[in-house]
Structure 1
Amino acid sequence: MHAHEAGWAHAQGARGPSWLQVPEDTNALVQHLWSSTAHKNDDGALVVGGVDLRDLVAEHGSAAYVLDEADFRARARAFRDAFSDQAGWDVYYAGKAFLCTTVARWIVEEGLCLDVCSNGELSVAIRAGVDPARIGYHGNNKTVPELARALDLGVGRIVVDSFHEIERLAALVEQTGKRARVMVRVTAGVEAHTHEFIATAHEDQKFGFSITSGDAFEAVRRVLAAPGLELLGLHSHIGSQIFDSAGFEVAARRVLALHARIISELGVEPPEMDLGGGFGIAYTTQDDPSTPERLAAEMLAIVARECSDLGIAAPRLSIEPGRAIAGPSTCTVYEVGTVKEVALDGGARRTYVSVDGGMSDNIRTALYDADYSATLASRRSDAPPLLARVVGRHCESGDIVVKDEFLPADIAPGDLVAVPGTGAYCRSMSSNYNHALRPPVIAVRDGVARIIVRRETEDDLLATDMGAVQ
């Protein structure tokens, strides 16, 4: 069943998406969608990390990303404990989900490594004091200066993604006399059950070397033939927002078969392998994510079984959770500006709740057709539930934050609305569309709120506009 392009109200017989149920109490939180400390107080206001969001907005304004530090750290520790302590795997936090110097320090303090995929992310890591040996560097088009900087800093592993990159890196190590520890990114031909644009292991896409075509084996051969390049192993990533280990099982089988072929035909046993990340989180009640413990047990069993069948020793494994750590730890709080009821075809009506943010601080709804939830965050309401659409303030009809959600029917200008699950990719992919100013990231813990990324100002906005320089 496909949704009508104009929305649920235009589809015959539709009353909102089938998974969205009318709540018994619009004041109640669906707890597993929120960070661990989030709850409603007696006034019905949302409290995160011991901070009443009414007080946070009064001091810092809205829109604002509210990051639950205790929750973030606990999720990082859960992956460390499940994969590193129990399974002996390395855990790299995928910085692309959300990265700032404070978060980078948290990651190190909780015993994780860090994965970056740009020179800017590398700069944040170095500014935060992350040991370069604990950094992995991704990217499908790393430039010569970027590779040279990674070599100079002593980055722990560089994930090569093309024959051109192998040539660039080989030339650099020859010129500098340094060594580069390299992983070869491969595409295993597995398409995760996710949105087309975030499924990254099928053949027709920009990342990695195809196992099927033989490019992956040739890439390994070229790395081994290049003096100064040290082959760590193979790297595979099958996509994002994945809820079970079935896709990893197929990918592991194909990647380990290539690993075994390298041993038998090239006489080299790569010491490591990375199976990527992409572990899903709950954005709405339709999502049922796994736990780090269950993922670790299932993935360890998969690797052990495949290695046994191939008659090879298991390499040292690593994974790269990002969304699964950062995503649920953060909510975005907005202030309602207008509420508008619109008549639709067939007598249906839709209520638009406009907030002081939108696609500039959360592009995922427009980009991926992503679903989000929301709650009234500033007061208790006795009004019945109203199916509404939470939208932004930008000049785009696709500027939607939450496509469909039941909010109290008395929702009004001045109310606060909070959206959970916005810690991954929302701030990272934010923009200045319509010359909007990016919101701050405010960490909350034990009743204290502190700014870890400040709100942009008009001075920031005009700083790069050379015509505005006085």
Structure 2
Amino acid sequence: MRAHEAGWAHAEGALKGPMWLREPADVNSLVPLLWSATARKVDGVLEVGGVRLPDLVAEHGSPAYVLDEADFRARARAFRDGFAGYDVYYAGKAFLCTAVARWVAEEGLRLDVCSGGELAVAERAGFDPAHIGFHGNNKSEAELRRAVRLGVGRIIVDSFHEIERLARIATELDAVAPVMVRVTAGVEAHTHEYIATAHEDQKFGFSINAGDALEAVRRVLAAPGLELLGLHSHIGSQIFDSSGFEVAARRVLALHARVSEELGVTMPEMDLGGGFGIAYTTQDDPADPAQLATEMTKIVEHECRALGVAEPRLSIEPGRAIVGPAMCTVYEVGTVKRVALDGGASRTYVSVDGGMSDNIRTALYDADYSCTLASRASSAAPLLGRVVGKHCEAGDIVVKDEFVPGDLAPGDLVAVPGTGAYCRSMASNYNHLLRPPVVAVRDGVARVVVRRETEDDLLATDVGDAGGTVDFGEMGEMGDDA
């Protein structure tokens, strides 16, 4: 926090943006690291997948999520090939629709789901259930029953209650449910506290330190209808290096070896998690999948040699790293407002036709994003602005700080990169806004893979006063005995 006795606006650097943000030499240029592979400017107009965004908006409206299919597939292949010999699970929670599920299968990846709804999408897409992993800390009985019936390849159990529940369901269905035990290794990833998932004080998994993880393994082995595949560890999301994995792998492999020694069981698999980071702004430096694979493989090989155990089959979950950079969101500017502040300072607010209903991450995680003018070239000098949404919330911010053209005006289009992960998945109807479509682009062709919501969709679940009307005047005459 910057502080000054005369007020925050007087502090050195106030209203100049974060230290990592640099004024661009050309406000029309793109930073390639932040955009999907096919994104480019032609005479100032942003194209993705060979489709001009003004043309896309003219046909499909705004806001709209723009999904670069070629980029998505290339990133999926990079993880598949970089982690050759591993099972790579795409994170359905990042973004999932039937088209994406089919792309994932076609590129040779597996699929991670964490709800009955995500499982339903996979089923509709015809995804091989044997290549699906089912996560979640509170799976319902109906969800578990559906997973067992479908033959889901692995169910990651997260509590003693779930072990009992799943064993009963498997027995009732005369089936065998393949199980992984989610463990917490006591490692805190260097990320936001809400997305760090391996420290002790949180809802996921069984603690290794407290002995719960070993007890969970015992119970799975003793339960009828369950097949123990191995241990599952996940240390968080938006992670850029392998240092946290080294500590976690050491602790998880020590438990793996202990199970073999004390219980006489060699578990064939192990999931190291993932949650690899992407570049939202120039301060982020994501690692190459092949480099990550080399580092993580060395860690496992070293620890297995030290423990004298055979290496299990490994799997990873890249998280947002596949779909995150493959999508951008395009908005139309509605107003541009220069707000005078104390000490002669001012801030420029650029209001767009979406906001926290289509990207909650800035409000929820204090996430940083970038943006660019997408509909024309500008010769105006750069101006530090804040892109905000149209919701009735002061915290409805899309991009906290970014240099935009000084002549930005209503009707212009701006595009925000890196919105593939969690933006559509976490979208809401706050203020009864309609959720935007997802438009896939490739080789100059745009096609809708998730349509825009309509007001009919919005009102479809509003059943009105299904119980009839009440005459409150009549109720007032019923007396105290009513």
TM (norm. structure 2) is 0.94
Cα pair 1:388 1:404 within 8 Å, conserved: yes
Shift of 1:192: 0.5
The amino acid of 1:69's aligned partner reads E
Distance in 2, matches of 1:392 and 1:234, equals 43
Secondary structure class of the residue paired with 2:403 = strand
Query: Is 1:289 aligned to 2:286, yes or no?
Result: yes
Structure 2 counterpart of 1:243, which letter? F
Name the residue aligned to 2:472. Answer: none
In the TM superposition, 1:25-36 aligns within 5 A as 25-36=26-37
Residue 52 of structure 1 is matched in structure 2 by 52
Query: Are positions 1:66 and 2:66 aligned together?
Result: yes
Identify the match of residue 300 of structure 1 among 269, 282, 297. Answer: 297
Q: Is the Cα contact below 8 Å between 2:2 and 2:11 reproduced in 1?
A: no
Is 1:199 the counterpart of 2:196? The answer is yes
Using the TM superposition, give the Cα deviation of residue 102 of structure 1 relative to its aligned residue in structure 2, in angstroms: 0.2
Which secondary structure does the structure 2 equivalent of 1:342 belong to?
A: strand
Structure of greater Rg: 2
The one-letter code matched in structure 2 to 1:248 is: F
Give the aligned residue type for 2:57: V
Q: Matched residue of 1:354: which SS?
A: strand
> What whole-Å deviation, never above 9, does each CA across 1:8-43 have from its counterpart, x for those lacking one?
85754332100000110000000110000000002x
Deviation (angstroms), 1:320: 0.8
Moved over 6 A (4+): none
Q: 1:17 and 2:18 equivalent?
A: yes
Percent of pairs with identical residues: 79
Contact 1:8 1:16 survives alignment (8 Å):
no
Equivalent position SS for 2:343: helix
Deviation at 1:144, TM superposition (A): 1.2
Whether 1:370 and 2:371 are equivalent positions in the alignment is: no
The answer to whether the aligner puts 1:245 opposite 2:246 as a matched pair is no
Alpha-carbon offset, residue 2 of structure 1? 7.0
Equivalent residues of 1:336, 1:417 under 8 A apart: yes
Q: Which string of whole-angstrom CA distances, capped at 9 and with x for unpartnered residues, describes residues 311-330 of structure 1?
A: 11110000011300000000
2: CA distance, partners of 1:329 / 1:307? 36
Equivalent in the alignment of 1:228:
225
Residue-by-residue CA offset, 1:316-370 (whole Å, 9 max, x unaligned): 0000113000000000000000000001122211000000000000000000000
Secondary structure, counterpart of 1:275 in structure 2: strand
The gaps in structure 1 that reach 5 residues or longer are none
DSSP-derived class of the 1:324 partner: coil
Is 2:364 aligned against 1:343? Answer: no
Q: Structure 1 residues 468, 418: CA separation in 2 closer, same or farther (over 3 Å shift)?
A: farther
The answer as to whether partners of 1:9 and 1:350 remain within 8 angstroms in 2 is: no
- Do the aligned residues in 2 keep the contact of 1:39 with 1:47 (CA within 8 Å)? yes
CA contact (8 A) 1:9 1:16 kept: no
CA contact (8 A) 1:462 1:468 kept: no
The answer to whether residue 172 in structure 2 is matched with residue 171 in structure 1 is no
**Is the alpha carbon distance of 1:9 and 1:321 closer, same or farther for their aligned partners in structure 2, counting shifts above 3 Å?**
farther
Give secondary structure in 1 for the equivalent of 2:318: coil
> How far is 1:393 from its partner?
0.1
3-state secondary structure, aligned to 1:105: helix
Q: Structure 1 residues 468, 426: CA separation in 2 closer, same or farther (over 3 Å shift)? A: farther
Shift of 1:238: 0.3
Q: Look up the equivalent residue of 1:200 and give its one-letter code.
A: T
Choose from 408, 413, 422 the match for 2:410. Answer: 413
1:148 is aligned to 2:145? yes
Q: Match of 1:300, SS?
A: helix
For structure 1, which segment, 338-347 or 323-332, has the greater mean C-alpha deviation from structure 2 after superposition? 338-347
- CA drift of 1:174 comes to 2.0
**2:182 match:** 185
Letter in structure 2 aligned against 1:107: V
Out of 169-178 and 289-298, give the one that drifted further.
169-178
Aligned to 1:381: 378
Match runs of 1:242-281 below 5 Å: 242-281=239-278
- Kindly provide the CA deviation profile for residues 263-293 of structure 1, in whole angstroms up to 9, marking residues without a partner as x: 0000000000001121000000000000101
Unaligned 5+ segments in structure 2 are: 467-482
2:42 — aligned with what? 41
Check whether the contact 1:245–1:298 (CA below 8 A) recurs between aligned residues.
Answer: yes
Task: Give, in whole Å, the separation in 1 of the partners of 2:104 and 2:3.
Answer: 40
Aligned Cα root-mean-square deviation (Å): 1.4
Q: Residues of 1 paired with 2:459 and 2:142: CA distance?
A: 28
SS in 1 for 2:163: helix
Match of 2:474? none
Q: For residue 326 of structure 1, what is the aligned residue in structure 2? A: 323
1:94 equivalent to 2:95? Answer: no
Letter in 1 for 2:240: F
Contact 1:8 1:17 in 2 (8 A): no
Q: Given the alignment of the two structures, is residue 456 of structure 1 paired with residue 457 of structure 2, yes or no?
A: no
Q: Decide whether the 8 Å contact of 2:49 with 2:70 is kept in 1.
A: yes
Match of 1:118 in 2: 115
SS at match of 1:403: strand
Whether the aligned pair in 1 keeps the contact of 2:232 and 2:271 (CA below 8 Å) is: yes
**Structure 1 residue 468, shift from structure 2 partner:** 8.2
Whether the 8 Å contact between 1:35 and 1:328 is mirrored in structure 2 is yes
Letter in 1 for 2:35: W
The TM-score, its normalising length taken from structure 1, stands at 0.97
Distance 1:360 1:330 in 2: 17
Question: What secondary structure does 1:467 align onto?
Answer: coil
* Alpha-carbon separation, structure 1, partners of 2:251 and 2:444: 49
Q: Residues 8 and 424 from structure 1, CA distance in 2 versus in 1: closer, same or farther, beyond 3 angstroms? A: farther
1:406 Cα deviation (Å)? 0.1
Count, aligned residues:
463
Q: Distance in 1 between matches of 2:148 and 2:61?
A: 42
| Alpha-carbon distance between aligned partners in 1 of 2:10 and 2:310, rounded to the nearest angstrom | 57
